[in-house]
């Protein structure tokens, strides 16, 4: 169990790092877009390094940034209202947390299942992105994987909360 949890943790951590890479990509692509556009207008069109689809690259970088950080963050980046439950026992709070994270796991399964269908459909319909004409099926496949990992990560974390002694201390 512990080994499996560690492996999953390792995978989601790598995804998290990839999310960081996509975040920086968003920034760099925008800079490049701004710079080449500026160069174009300064040189009156003589130096044209502008690329097509800058906005689209940013859009999908955002998508990947968020999708890839979900599994690692599901147990860490949540907002809760602790106004009414501050005085509950620590153990009770832990059980609550486990149940909720398990629900996230179910949601992840639903999302992943739904994306799985989209992968097939997009492959059949040949639908592509608007500017760069990249087949959407790749994006759905990545989303399918990311949300699957979200489910796996949530379920393992919930089980650890419920059964692991280490998590209780």
Instruction: List binders of other proteins among 59-88 (CB under 8 A).
Output: 59-60, 62-63, 65-67, 69-70, 72-74, 76-86
Task: Indicate whether 115 belongs to the interface with other proteins (CB under 8 A).
Answer: yes
Can you tell me the distance from the alpha carbon of 8 to that of 154, in angstroms, rounded to the nearest whole number?
10
CB of 154 or CB of 159, closer to other proteins: 154
Q: How far is the CB of 66 from other proteins (least distance, A)?
A: 5
**Between residues 4 and 52, which has the closer beta carbon with respect to other proteins?**
52
In the numeric block, which tokens belong to residue 143?
């989303």
The residue (of 8 and 23) whose beta carbon lies closer to other proteins is 23
In the region spanning residues 1 to 30, those forming contacts with other proteins, defined by CB under 8 A, are: 16, 19-20, 23-24, 26-27, 30
- With contact defined as beta carbons under 8 Å apart, do 50 and 36 qualify? yes
Among candidate residues 19, 137, 116, the one with its CA nearest the CA of residue 71: 19
Tell me the three state secondary structure of residue 142.
helix
Q: Considering only CA atoms, which of 7, 5, 51, 8 is closest in space to residue 29?
A: 51
């Amino acid at each position: 169990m512990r080994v499996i949890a560690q492996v999953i943790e390792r995978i989601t951590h790598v995804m998290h790092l990839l999310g960081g890479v996509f975040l920086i990509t968003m920034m760099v692509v925008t800079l490049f877009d701004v710079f080449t556009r500026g160069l174009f207008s300064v040189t009156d069109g003589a130096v044209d390094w502008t690329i097509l689809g800058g906005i689209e690259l940013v859009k999908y970088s955002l998508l990947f940034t968020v999708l890839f950080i979900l599994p690692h963050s599901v147990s860490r980046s949540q907002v809760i209202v602790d106004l009414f439950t501050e005085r509950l026992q620590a153990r009770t709070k832990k059980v609550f947390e486990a149940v909720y994270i398990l629900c996230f796991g179910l949601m992840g399964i639903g999302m992943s299942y739904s994306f799985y269908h989209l992968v097939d459909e997009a492959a059949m319909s040949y639908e592509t992105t608007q500017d760069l004409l990249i087949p959407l099926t790749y994006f759905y496949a990545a989303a399918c994987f990311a949300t699957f990992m979200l489910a796996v990560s949530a379920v393992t974390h919930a089980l650890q909360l419920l059964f692991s002694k280490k998590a209780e201390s």
